[in-house]
Amino acid sequence: MTDTTDTSFARPDARAVDQLRDIRFETGIAPHALGSVLVSFGKTRVICAASIDERVPGWMRAQKVEGGWMTAEYSMLPYSTLDRKQRDISRGKADGRTIEIQRLIGRSLRAVFDLKKLTGKTIWVDCDVLQADGGTRTASITGAYVAAQIAVQKLLADEKLEENPFTESVAAVSVGVFQGVPVLDLNYPEDKDATVDANIVMTGSGKFVEVQSSGEEATFSRQELDTLLELGEKGIREINLLQEAAIAEGLKP
């Protein structure tokens, strides 16, 4: 991967090319939500909270669709960015990026979830970025799964659900080409200068849910894409273990 004889390349925070940032989960951060976690990927920090609504969206009732629904909302708190970001409510509308990200989070969760087993309920997963330093969408997906799984486990314990609708876990990480070198889990200084930027969403069993890969005033080869996917897969395998530990911690009485 990296040419170890090349001493000119260094990541801004001195990580190895295939090294994740310090990833942490603080569960129970929002006690009124059934499941919650503050997930940190280095300086990127996102609050993810899962709440239960005892009804399904109007379109499901109208179309008599069986089961339940799970959806996500994403926002960057005004003070999460270097320059204050105006709240969507003050601007009067959500920007395109926000809509794209929240749909990605919802799709990622639903890919590993059997909605038929969530009869008559909606799970709302709110992801609010406390601090943005690159990779907020991938941190959101990773934390959203932890928050939602904790909420589901509590519903099961309270006999409000018969079976766990989650079929497996889901996590995400960013990868990209920075100064010509494929790297894992980009922070903002890397993301800003990356020529290729990709977000990988994978299940615990190693299946892809989504791969968003784009050249920024640049193109990329099949070989580079393969390297990026391998890096992403390695990172996600490590993240899966951390997610499992966080869920167990979050369910401790």
Q: Which is nearer to ligand UDP, 119 or 214 (CB)?
A: 214
Q: CB of 97: closest distance to ligand UDP in angstroms?
A: 6
Closest CA to 135 of 222, 9, 239: 239
Q: Does 103 bind ligand UDP (CB under 6 A)?
A: no
Residue 171 binds ligand UDP, judged by CB under 6 A:
no
The answer to whether 85 contacts ligand UDP (rule: CB under 6 A) is: yes
Q: Does 87 bind ligand UDP (CB under 6 A)?
A: no
Closest distance to ligand UDP from the beta carbon of 178 (Å): 13
Among 26, 168, 191, 193, binds ligand UDP (CB under 6 A): 191
The nearer residue to ligand UDP, 53 or 193, going by C-beta atoms, is: 193
Q: At closest approach, how far in Å is the CB of 188 from ligand UDP?
A: 4
Query: Considering the rule CB under 6 A, would residue 45 count as an interface residue with ligand UDP?
Result: no
- Please state the separation of Cα 176 from the chain's center in Å: 17
Check residue 81 for interaction with ligand UDP (CB under 6 A).
yes
Q: Which is nearer to ligand UDP, 55 or 78 (CB)?
A: 78
Decide: is 21 part of the binding site for ligand UDP (CB under 6 A).
Answer: no
For the window 120-149, what string marks contact with ligand UDP as x by the rule CB under 6 A?
------------xxxxxx------------
Asked if 106 touches ligand UDP (CB under 6 A), the answer is no
Which residues in this chain contact ligand UDP in the complex, by CB under 6 A? 81, 85, 97, 132-137, 174, 188, 191
